[in-house]
Amino acid sequence: MAVTTMSSLSDLAGRLEQQVGNPASYRAVLTRVLLRTGVNVREPKPGQNEDQALVAKAAAALTEMGYRL
């Protein structure tokens, strides 16, 4: 299985938004990621957007929830 590397939380959010399509569902998924990981993908704090540890943590949570980006 190939792993796609994302450079930022914004990149991850954009890919997820394209995959989900529905704005309400997209927001719900991001809320689930926030609750599971503590990572705010929608509005990251300054300096967190490109933190690779946080990007990996959020991407892993999304994979566990069935979203392969």
Does the residue 2 lie in any domain? no
The mean pLDDT of the chain is 92
Task: Report in angstroms the alpha-carbon separations of 24 from 28, 40, 59.
Answer: 6, 16, 20
Does the residue 42 lie in any domain? yes
Q: What pLDDT is recorded for position 48?
A: 95
Domains held by the chain: number: 1
pLDDT tens digits along 29-42? 999 999 999 999 99
Does the residue 1 lie in any domain? no
Return the closest-CA partner of residue 18 out of 27, 8, 28, 26: 26
Which pTM does this prediction carry? 0.87
- What is the extent of the structural domain holding 29? 9-64
